[in-house]
Amino acid sequence: MPVFSIVDCNSFFVSCERLLNPSLKGKPVIVLSNNDGMVVARSNEAKALGIQWDAYHLIKDKIRYYDIQVYSSNYPLYSEISGRVMAILKQFAPRMEVYSCDEAFLDLTGIENLDTYGQLIRETVLQHCGIPVSVGIAKTKTLAKLANRIAKKSPKVKNGVLNLVDSHYLDDALKRVEAKDVWGVGRRWAERLRGHSILTAYDLAHADPKWLLKTFNVVLTRTALELRGQFCLSLQLDPPLSKSIMHSMSFGKLVEDYASLRQVISTYAAESSAKMRREQLACGSVHVFLQTNRFIQEPQYFPGITLPLPYPTDHAAEIIQIALSALDAIFQDGYRYNKGGVMLGQLIPASERQTSLLDSYNRDKVVGLMQALDGINRQFGPGTLRYGSQGFRKAAWQMRQNHLSSQNNQGLMTEHQQVKRICELGQSTALIRAL
């Protein structure tokens, strides 16, 4: 019988900032999304003060009043720390699925004394990475998520580990969790379920699967079966190849002129193509979209277009060129744009890329050029080396990040220096030496 565990970092982004600045411990802290737009992570102290997933500008008074510490998100830092946490977890379970930057499913089948093992996982991650985690253990992934949720919230659960395998507490746990909080049940489905008097995970587990299949779909039916302990969802051991890769971002300021949008789309195309080359893929189509700001009263326009490439490519210049043709096709004067994006589709492994008779360039040269471009940007930061169409000066459309930890600390450290510092901190620990 399979046993799954999900290990989830508590308030991950906040925990990362605390690692960098230990004086934040015990204080209310929040981390903001790109553009400092919304709250994406909250410490328990901030949650206790009633901070939700709010728009930052709507809660500024509250933040001042309670002296809440505010940070812009710093993804290179979080990604570095995430890698360290995952490396530790892998030692506890070679069969592991990295589910997101702050969570992983582990296969604990055959492990005896699951409670102790869970505690050991938690203590080891805390000791060697400085990140607190919660551990849920159960017979299915969905039940493990539910256990994890209770472990994180309930003060009765000791040390953030809850094991529901053969537990007499299982029914009680299912009754305590609302249907809307079950993994796989979102707001919409929860509303419809409520109409049928299905309010809790327990109700969903005991709903008739045939009826669920007829009334909803196979996804929700699987979720219900998993809640009964019937295994439907297996571990995804090797991450599947991406089917699309996107880069999109709200602008620092509303943009109406074509020239700026050319810089934006060139930059987003370059970013998404770099992300694609990191996964060693090539794309067969490029989708470009623009959006106006739906929160303000003025003419709205949400255009988008997908253009095919004559042959799959991972060459930044070609992708930028086609993205700019797409922009030409959708751009309309007279609107104030708030967001744009470039999505690469029809992805295939770059190695399988068929060269076309129409290829006008030397493939080896392009590969070398892209490697040099990516290498320099990896070392010195994204956008260090760029195409002319991306623009050279700091422009108004670029992202706001007014609360980066580097600026909060001493105003000197760049993100990359921070990552380096975290590496150095980590290297002083016993386990990293052992690695």
Partner DNA sequence: TCTGGGGTCCTAGGACCC
**Residue numbers at the binding site for DNA (CB under 7 A):** 33-35, 37-38, 40, 53, 55, 57-58, 60, 99-100, 102-103, 145, 182-190, 217-219, 240, 242-250, 253-254, 275, 293, 295, 306, 338-339, 341, 343
Q: How far is the CB of 420 from DNA (least distance, A)?
A: 24
Least distance CB 301 / DNA (angstroms): 15
Residue 333 makes CB contacts below 8 A (sequence gap 6+) with 256, 258
Choice between 115 and 181, CB closer to DNA: 181
Q: Please report, as a single letter, which amino acid is at residue 392.
A: F
Q: Residue 261's closest CA among 346, 151, 337, 372?
A: 337
Distance in angstroms (rounded) separating the CA atoms of residues 39 and 72: 9
The count of C-alpha atoms lying within 13 angstroms of the C-alpha of 255, restricted to the half-sphere facing its C-beta, is 24
CA distance 342 to 8: 31
Whichever of 35 and 69 has its CB closer to DNA, that residue is 35
CB nearer to DNA: pick between 263 and 420: 263
Strand, coil or helix: what is 118? helix
The nearest distance, CB 128 to DNA, in angstroms, is 22
Nearer to DNA, 40 or 413 (CB): 40
Q: Show the CA angle centred on residue 197, arms to residues 193 and 199, nearest 5°.
A: 70
Nearer to DNA, 108 or 146 (CB): 146
| Gyration radius of the chain's alpha carbons | 24
Q: Which residue has 């009680």 as its token pair?
A: 172
Q: Which is nearer to DNA, 24 or 32 (CB)?
A: 32
Cα 425 to its chain centre, rounded Å, is 25
Asked whether 376 and 321 are in contact (CB, 8 A), the reply is no
Q: Which is nearer to DNA, 246 or 431 (CB)?
A: 246
How far apart are CB 224 and DNA at their closest, in Å?
13
CB-nearer residue toward DNA: 83 or 368: 83
Give the closest residue to 262 by CA, choosing from 350, 391, 362, 146. Answer: 391
Q: Environment class of residue 334 by beta-carbon count within 10 Å: exposed (0-12), middle (13-18) or buried (19+)?
A: exposed
Chain-centroid distance, C-alpha 85? 15
> CB of 183: closest distance to DNA in angstroms?
5
To DNA, the closest distance from the beta carbon of 92 in angstroms equals 20
Are 353 and 313 in contact, with CB atoms under 8 Å apart?
Answer: yes
> Cα separation of 35 and 259, whole Å?
21
Minimum CB distance to DNA smaller for 219 or for 423: 219
- Distance, CA of 28 to CA of 69 (rounded, Å): 6
Shortest distance (Å) from residue 184 CB to DNA = 5
- Residue 304: CB minimum distance to DNA, A: 9
Residue 139 CA to residue 118 CA, distance in Å, equals: 14
Work out how close the CB of 340 gets to DNA at its nearest, in angstroms, rounded to a whole number: 9
State the minimum distance, in angstroms, from the CB of residue 190 to DNA.
6
Residue for token pair 């029809």: 346
38 vs 87 by CB, closer to DNA: 38
Give the amino acid at 344. L
CB 232 within 8 A of CB 218: no
Sheet holding 69-72, edge to edge: 39-42, 29-32, 69-72
Return the number of the residue (253 or 363) whose C-beta is nearest DNA.
253
Please state the closest distance from residue 328 (CB atom) to DNA, in A. Answer: 19
